[in-house]
Structure 1
Amino acid sequence: MKVWSRGIARVTVLVAAAALLMLALAACGGGDDNGGNGGGDGAPAGAITVNMTEFKFEPATIEAQTGEITFNLVNDGTVDHDMHIEIPGNPQTSELVGPGESATFTVTINEPGEYEIWCTVAGHRESGMEGTLKVTG
């Protein structure tokens, strides 16, 4: 009978330890489940996540408020990509982001409107890697 009791005690301890480990892992997880507009994957809080592949931005239409806008650019493709925003009088282009990498890109836009975005890598815009940034006040 004592052997059986020790076996149950060991199983109970193992189950409790596994439950605590799962709870700890769940607490550390915390993905970004709000449409890519959060700070998941090391991006700053409030950053807009834009996935780049051959040859598109996802989402292709991005909405933001006037002021400082931060993007978390994630290259899910197999070649370098960037993001260019055609701001009249002050066009902005991010750094090149390598395959499997991500980068933060921050711009300031104080005028509501629609701004064209595209990838400046040769041939990418012509292949359809473009979109729209809709900025509202």
Structure 2
Amino acid sequence: MKSLQLLVLTLGGLLGSPAALAHSEAHKGHQAAATIKEQKPWGIAGDAAQVDRTIEIRMTDQMRFTPDHLQVRQGETIRFVHRNDGQMLHEFVIGTRAELDEHAALMARFPGMQHDEPYMAHIAPGQSGEMIWTFNRAGEFDFACLIAGHYQAGMVGTIQVLAD
């Protein structure tokens, strides 16, 4: 009985935590999430009317992104077009290495989690999707597929944001 109570309390605490609130039970789609304008260390959700350029990112079942190294200018708004060339679900998540490491560990514990933040996109096999992001802070940032096992297999990339 104590084990069951502990499990209920643990799950209740996780579901009430900010990390768990960052995910939805059913993916609501990127369009709804794009309205969230929260400043992150790596930038903020962008507006379609202000896109400076488009970068296509391909994802494969070899657990790789192409390209896997990007360079953008501070203040640049990028339309990412994600194409999943594989047979399994992949995602594209921008963040710092520390945040991606933490999030990957959470995803490994709860593999069914889905995202609805504007810096995260799930792309079904054979499908494409997009996100618009403004890189308003200079620095070195990362992107990754945090689906359990994908990150650990090396499905990662880097973004260098050059200061003006």
Q: Which amino acid is the alignment partner of residue 122 of structure 2?
A: L
4+ runs deviating over 6 angstroms: none
TM-score, with structure 2 as normaliser: 0.51
Q: TM-score scaled by structure 1?
A: 0.60
- Equivalent pairs, count: 93
* C-alpha displacement of 1:117: 0.9
CA distance in 2, matches of 1:113, 1:119: 20
Give 2:124's aligned residue.
Answer: 98
Q: C-alpha offsets along residues 83-108 of structure 1, whole Å, 9 cap, x if unaligned?
A: 1111599x864221011111111122
How far did 1:45 drift?
7.8
The structure with higher relative contact order (CA 8 Å, sep 6+) is 2
Match for residue 71 of structure 1 among 77, 80, 105: 80
Point out where structure 1 has 5 or more consecutive residues left out of the alignment.
1-43
Query: How far, CA to CA, are the matches of 1:134 and 1:92 in structure 2?
Result: 19
Aligned residue for 1:129?
155
User: 2:64 matched to 1:56?
Assistant: yes
| RMSD of Structure 2 on Structure 1 (CA) | 2.3
Structure number, greater radius of gyration: 1
> How far is the alpha carbon of 1:109 from its aligned partner?
1.8
Secondary structure of the equivalent of 1:111? Answer: coil
Between the aligned residues of both structures, percent identity stands at 31
- Is 1:80 the counterpart of 2:106? The answer is no
Shift of 1:46: 2.2
The DSSP-based 3-state class of the residue aligned with 2:130 is strand
Instruction: Give the partner amino acid of 1:53.
Output: T
